[in-house]
Amino acid sequence: MFGLLKKTRISGAEAREKVAGGAVLVDVRSPAEFASGHLDGARNIPLGALRSRLDELSADAEVVVYCASGMRSASAAKRLRSAGFTAHNLGPLRAW
């Protein structure tokens, strides 16, 4: 299972390149986790609220998601792709 998740992740360098090119950076951790520290420019849309907050994201923009361990971001990327977004999973915050 973890090997499969790794294959769907992008590297920190790839994520930085995508964000520099206009991709939206989304932190899917809880508001408390986000408040304790996050990547500059990231939006906080917790995984549990993602479906109800899709309208906050442009369907034209690529999205890079991250969380604490990579599990929630993998789920978020999958949900976003299912909704028609081009989504990339950075995995854990430390991968940046």
Q: Sort 28 into a burial class: Cβ within 10 Å, 0-12 / 13-18 / 19+.
A: buried
Among the options 67, 74, 90, 93, which is catalytic? 67
Measure the CA–CA gap between 12 and 91, rounded to whole angstroms. 9
DSSP state of 30: -
Active site annotation includes 46: no
CA distance 70 to 93: 8
Active site amino acids = 67
